[in-house]
Amino acid sequence: MGDTMSLAIDPITATPLPRGASIGYRRGVVRRLRSLVWLTAILGCLQLFGALLPRGIDLTATRSQSLAPQTVAVLRRLEQAVEITVVAPTRPRTVGEQAFAHALGPFRDLVERCRRESPRIVWRSLDPEIDLAARRLAEEFHDLSVPGVVITTEIDGVRRHETLHVRDLAEIGLTRGRQPILEFFGEQSLTAALSRLIGGVESMQVYCLTGHGELAIEDDAVESRQGMGLMASRLRANGCRVESLDLGIASRIPADADLVIVAGALGEIPSVEVEKLRLYFSQGGRGLILMESAHSDHKSDNDESLSGLLSEHGVTAGHDRLVTAGFTGEIELASPVMPAQSDHALVRSLPLTPLVLHDARSVRTRVGVEPLSTESIPLLVSFAAPRAWSETDFSSLEATFDPDSDLPGPVAVACAVERHQGDLREPVLVVVGDAEFVCNRNLTAPSGRNGANFVFAALHWLHGRKQSFADIPATRREPYTLTGTAAELQRSVWGTAFFVCAALLVGVATTAAQRRA
């Protein structure tokens, strides 16, 4: 027992030291221990030093490698994994896909910076041509159009999502010197989307006006032209509560209404009901008005009733129909329309894919002398003349452009109306000169997705869900400005190389001479 007690233990290997271990051996052990302590201390100091410093020190003049404080704040609030999925073809073919591919570069950098800040961000990229998961996503989220970005998370067992498209991310233009320039504002959009996701999605209460021949939300028949049950289902799937509203019965628009949709009223809307709508809009209510076409068959009875209301908001719906000449010269009433050239938030959020409207009427900004508290912004426009124009002659199907009465293209067929209160702008209305594009029959057509996307974009804007963190500055990417040509720059490089190499050769010669000496 006494022998065991006298045995020294090697503190590193934990084995007993040999009896009568030499002083040198013990010193060696102490030295090794001291070395380990030193190593641990240095590593500890390094870690401590690292913990005291910020994650990254941005040396760029524009702080282009740093996230905005607003983004950092939102990322720190993330408690659940957020998946950012890009759905885009690997090889872009169309102009829209090319534009998206351009915007995707800086967006990818942005997401990487976000991932460094928050490990809860997950990045995924899917090709709709080869990945089944991409198709599933497109089916699950109706407001996702390809190419696009879908941001998903699950909070309390509920899957939430936001979608971003090329107009939410960047704009590509040309400088005066015809150089490409990319203005990237994806950080604003991504931060706003994340903020909305984690801030909780407010359920939107949507009332669809009924009683005047409007598209019925109860009608689910796939081939129906009088029903918009499928659109209502999609809205419900995206967190909206959709109900019919008969203003002939209701004393006023319910207080819980976030939005009122007037989808293709065929008959006259009585002035009493229009008054209820006017009151609702004047009290901050919001609406999506899809005008029925001004075709002679329908007599356009709703014209007079709604036109006054729209006129008060600076919008005029024309008594005309948009016609487009096909490539072979025949006149078509189904006209493709595209987002107008504008910096407006709603215009930017519209997908670039053309939306096909049938027999649409023009929706223009009203020109008048009295000042208005609202401003109307064109959203969708037709092709330019002579390919498209708005025809006022309903008597014949053979439409020809009459410069005296017809409006030459590009014809605006949709407008957004904003109310100005000082610097504050708030959405009031979205008016479209066609309602048929949301009917069940058109929604189930191959291009029906574009119509649904437009409605979703309009609803998001009207409900304020597409608010952006506009104080996050956009970043600009442009080619370097050069004062010399490529050959002159090469001269700069090789001139420097000549002097460096000459100096080094002198070094070689000098040392060689010294060695020889």
Partner 1 sequence: MFTTVTTIWSREMRGFFTRPGGWLILLAATVPAAVAAGWMATLVARGGLALRADEDPVSQFLGPNIFLMGTLLWLAPLLTMNAIADDRRRGTWELLVTSSASAMEIVVGKFLAAWTLISVCLIPWPLFLSALRVWNGKSREMAGWIPWFDGPGISFDAGLFWGGVIGLLVIAGTIAALGTLTSAIARRPLFAGFATATVLALLLATSLLPRVLDQWRVPADRYDWIQAVAVWGHLAEFSRGIIPVSRVIGHLSASVILVWSAGQLCRRADG
* Largest interatomic CA distance in the chain: 122
Burial class of residue 67 (count of CB atoms within 10 Å of its CB; 0-12, 13-18, 19+): buried
Min dist. Cβ of residue 342 to partner 1 (A): 24
Supply angle C-alpha 226, 145, 64, rounded to 5: 145
Kindly tell me which residue out of 60, 328, 396, 421 binds partner 1, with binding defined by CB under 8 A: 60
Residues in contact with partner 1, shown as a per-residue x/- string from 273 to 292 under the rule CB under 8 A: --------------------
Helix (H/G/I), strand (E/B), else coil: 357: strand
Least distance CB 318 / partner 1 (angstroms) = 41
Strands (E), 193-258: 204-209, 240-245
Nearer to partner 1, 71 or 382 (CB): 71
Q: Which part of the chain contacts partner 1 (CB under 8 A), choosing from 71-79, 254-262, 354-362, 508-516?
A: 508-516
Contacts made by residues 227-236, CB under 8 angstroms, sequence distance 24+: 227/439, 227/440, 228/263, 228/438, 228/439, 228/440, 228/443, 229/440, 230/440, 230/443, 230/444, 231/438, 231/440, 231/443, 231/452, 231/455, 232/208, 234/142, 234/452, 234/456, 235/206, 235/455, 235/459
- Draw the binding track, 16-35, toward partner 1 (x: CB under 8 A; -: no contact): ----------------x--x
- Sequence-distant contacts of 419-424: CB under 8 A, at least 24 apart: 419/373, 419/374, 420/373, 420/374, 420/375, 421/373
Q: Which is nearer to partner 1, 32 or 76 (CB)?
A: 32
Amino acid, single-letter form, for residue 17: L
- Burial-class residue 360 by CB neighbours within 10 Å (0-12, 13-18, 19+): buried
What's the closest the beta carbon of residue 502 comes to partner 1, in angstroms?
Answer: 10
Name residue 250's beta-bridge partners: none
Could you say which residues in the range 165-184 bind partner 1, by CB under 8 A? 179-182
Least separation in angstroms between CB 24 and partner 1: 10
User: Taken in order 366, 369, 370, 371, is the CA torsion positive or negative?
Assistant: positive
Residue 53 binds partner 1, judged by CB under 8 A: yes
- Of 7 and 39, the one with the shorter C-beta distance to partner 1 is 39
Q: In the complex, what is the shortest distance from the CB of residue 107 to partner 1, in angstroms, rounded to a whole number? A: 9
- Choice from 50, 284, 422, 446 touching partner 1 (CB under 8 A): 50
Cβ distance to partner 1 smaller for residue 41 or 279: 41
Q: Which residue's CB is nearer to partner 1, number 42 or number 250? A: 42
Residue with tokens 């979205």: 430
Phi first, then psi: give them for residue 6, nearest 5 degrees: -80, -10
Closer residue to partner 1 in complex, CB, 16/56: 56
330 in helix, strand or coil? coil
The 423-462 site mask, x for binding partner 1 (CB under 8 A), equals ----------------------------------------
Three-state DSSP at 420 gives strand
Q: At its nearest, how many Å lie between partner 1 and the CB of residue 197?
A: 18
Number of residues that bind partner 1 (CB under 8 A): 74
Interface pick for partner 1 out of 8, 64, 233, 298 (rule CB under 8 A): 64
Using the rule CB under 8 A, which residue among 62, 283, 373, 444 binds partner 1?
62
- Near partner 1 in 182-201, by CB under 8 A: 182
Cα distance between residue 245 and residue 263, in whole Å: 12
Kindly identify the residues of this chain, within the stretch 472-501, that bind partner 1 according to CB under 8 A.
477-497, 500-501
Q: How far is the CB of 138 from partner 1 (least distance, A)?
A: 16
Q: Residue 115 or 298: which CB sits closer to partner 1?
A: 115
| Nearest Cα residue to 382 out of 369, 401, 396 | 401
Choosing from 6, 395, 421, 514, the residue that interacts with partner 1 (CB under 8 A) is 514
CA neighbours closer than 13 Å in the CB half-sphere of residue 12: 12
Q: How far is the CB of 108 from partner 1 (least distance, A)?
A: 6
Residue of the chain from 1, 23, 57, 397 that contacts partner 1 (CB under 8 A): 57
Asked whether position 222 contacts partner 1 by CB under 8 A, the answer is no
Please state the closest distance from residue 286 (CB atom) to partner 1, in A: 37
**Separation between Cα atoms, residue 109 and residue 87, nearest integer Å:** 17
Q: Is there binding between residue 255 and partner 1 (CB under 8 A)?
A: no
Least Å from the CB of residue 10 to partner 1: 15
User: 78-108 as b/e, with b when 16 or more CB fall inside 10 Å?
Assistant: beeebbbbbbbbeebeeebbebbbbbbebbe
**Residue 80 CB, nearest approach to partner 1 (Å):** 14
Question: What part of residues 95-154 is at the interface with partner 1 (CB under 8 A)?
Answer: 102, 104-106, 108-109, 115-116, 119, 122-127, 131
